[in-house]
Amino acid sequence: MSGWIGVDLDGTLAQYGGFKGPDDIGEPVPAMLDRVKAWVADGREVRIFTARVCAPGFEEPIKAWCEKHGIGGLAITNAKDFGMVELWDDRAVRVMFNKGEPCCAEARNEMLDAAVTKNALLADRIKELEAEVEKLEEYLSRVPAGMYL
Ligand SMILES: [Mg+2]
């Protein structure tokens, strides 16, 4: 079969818990890794489709990750072309052909709810950290000048 299948990395092929650097790629998502391996064994072309490669220094860790998990040698891209026949991505919203209506409105709403929850948790954590910083600054302001901690 001609054409290639794009597979997103973070949150699709690999577990994702927030960005921690180019070398930090989560453990594989078993169902997705098995699917990719089956496609490759079946002669399908699969490309890792990730925004990570829009910046230098990100491609090598992805290659190493793929090699480690038994799918070495896959192309890595962030570009769509006429050969792409499918895209598997945790952020994608599939729309009905020529209609502009989402195919999976329920799944999309779940995704949006999860994003809102995650943002709220992050906002709470930022407030906690800001309060800690304020306490530390207040403490440091009471340390006499020239005195070591
Ligand atoms: Mg993703």
The more confident residue out of 27 and 19 is: 27
Determine contact, residues 43/26, Cβ cutoff 8 Å: no
Name the least confident of 8-12, 108-112, 135-139.
108-112
Q: Which residue has the higher pLDDT, 73 or 101?
A: 73
The predicted model scores a pTM of 0.71
DSSP, collapsed to helix, strand or coil, labels residue 76 as: strand
Cα-to-centroid distance, 16 and ligand 1 (Å):
8
Mapping DSSP onto H, E and C, the string for the chain reads CCCEEEECCECCCECCCCCCCCCCCCCECHHHHHHHHHHHHCCCEEEEECHHHHCCCCHHHHHHHHHHCCCCCCEEECCCCCCEEEEECCCCCCECCCCCCECCHHHHHHHHHHHHHHHHHHHHHHHHHHHHHHHHHHHHHHCCCCCCC
Cα 139 to ligand 1 centroid, rounded to whole Å: 41
Q: What is the pLDDT of residues 111-121, one digit of tens each?
A: 788 888 888 88
pLDDT score, position 140: 86
CA 141 to centroid of ligand 1, rounded, Å: 44
Average pLDDT, the chain: 92
In the reported structure, the alpha carbon of residue 93 is separated from the centroid of ligand 1 by a whole-number distance in angstroms of 12
Closest CA to 32 of 71, 67, 60, 63: 71
State the distance from the centre of ligand 1 to the C-alpha of 92, rounded, in angstroms.
9
> What integer pLDDT is reported at residue 79 of this predicted model?
97
Using a CB cutoff of 5 Å, list residues around ligand 1, an ion.
8, 10-11, 90
CA gap 21, 120 in Å, rounded:
23
The whole-number pLDDT of residue 109 equals: 81
User: How many C-beta atoms surround the C-beta of residue 53 within 10 A?
Assistant: 17
91 alpha carbon – ligand 1 mean position (Å): 6
pLDDT tens, 40-71? 999 999 999 999 999 899 999 999 999 999 99
